[in-house]
């Protein structure tokens, strides 16, 4: 089980880093695209607001995934404390990307 957990954590960290990088790249792209193509003020504002909304959605998704993982860890721990066999909810949630 330790090897499964190790691989799942590695995959989770890799996917989280990729999603964080994509989320961070959206803001400079939201500024660069209107500048390169010479958009007017309204189109530039729409592009920037869209980039900020996209970034905010990505950050919210990452935070919700973190909460989901913590709840899965708690569920596994409660199963162990009750004497039941743990369902490996934490590993299942890590592999849910």
Give residue-wise pLDDT tens across range 11-50: 999 999 999 999 999 999 999 999 999 999 999 999 999 9
Range with top average pLDDT, 1-10, 40-49, 83-92: 40-49
What is the value of pTM for the model shown? 0.81
Taking the C-alpha atoms of residue 68 and residue 61, their distance in angstroms, rounded to an integer, is 10
Taking the C-alpha atoms of residue 69 and residue 62, their distance in angstroms, rounded to an integer, is 11
pLDDT at 1 over 70: no
Taking the C-alpha atoms of residue 11 and residue 7, their distance in angstroms, rounded to an integer, is 6
Residue 86: per-residue pLDDT? 77
Taking the C-alpha atoms of residue 55 and residue 67, their distance in angstroms, rounded to an integer, is 19
Residue 50: per-residue pLDDT? 95
């Amino acid at each position: 089980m330790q090897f499964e957990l190790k691989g799942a954590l590695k995959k989770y960290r890799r996917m989280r880093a990729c999603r964080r990088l994509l989320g961070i790249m959206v803001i400079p792209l939201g500024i660069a695209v209107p500048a390169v193509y010479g958009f007017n003020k309204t189109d530039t504002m729409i592009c920037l607001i869209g980039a900020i909304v996209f970034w905010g959605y990505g950050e919210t998704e990452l935070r919700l995934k973190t909460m989901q993982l913590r709840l899965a860890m708690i569920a596994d721990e409660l199963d162990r404390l009750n004497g039941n066999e743990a369902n490996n909810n934490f590993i299942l949630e890590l592999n849910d990307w």
